[in-house]
Amino acid sequence: MGTALTALFEDPQRAIDRLMGTHAGIVVDRAWAPRIGGYVLDLTLFPPPELDAAGYDEERARISVREHGEPLTFPLGPERRWKHRYPSPLGVGFGYICGQLCLWLPTDPRPLKWVPEDGLENYVDRVHRHLFLEEHWRRMGHWATEDAPHGAPTSNHLSNGSATDTFPITSRPLLRAVRMWEHHHRTHT
């Protein structure tokens, strides 16, 4: 477990120092507590060495951490195409704010989504990775890794499940990884 989100409210500078001290390529440019509550971080995220060598520029993002609920993340910078970003004010039926990155869906299996117990560093890691996957998609026309499932729940022929399956994982390796994670956490908690 990383830094709890509550630590950001209790001692913001310590949480920010820990984030930048443990994660290469992440700089907190600005941090503040808005009058409406919560905490906001503006980040610059530098590309990993391989992507830097390929000419990728740094990415910028704003993370709004609320005292209750999941953080919201918005890319900063010029207008660009996005594969996984909520375009509508209602956020594709989930009530999210316009322009927020779609990092996972509420119906995704646990290993494919972040929860507060994972900590601030894990959340920022997901944002960092996601922004560079988006840039790869813009340049190459495909997602660089196996893409997480998206869309409405469907039956999954690989899961030996029924029509009530809640996520459409279509590849055996990802399905195996999800099951291994679930088995590990069931037997170790």
Residue 106 has pLDDT above 80, yes or no: no
Tokens of residue 21, six digits: 């001290």
Residue 156 has pLDDT above 70, yes or no: no
- pLDDT tens digits, one per residue of 68-78: 878 999 999 98
Q: How high is the mean pLDDT of the chain? A: 82
- pLDDT tens digits, one per residue of 174-186: 778 888 878 777 7
Pure H helices in 54-170: 120-140
Which domains, ranges and CATH numbers included, belong to the chain? 5-140 (3.10.110), 152-189 (no CATH)
- Which single residue is written with the structure tokens 């971080």? 41
- pLDDT tens digits, one per residue of 9-68: 999 999 999 999 988 899 999 999 999 889 999 999 999 999 999 999 999 999 999 888
Q: How many CB atoms lie within 10 A of CB 160?
A: 8
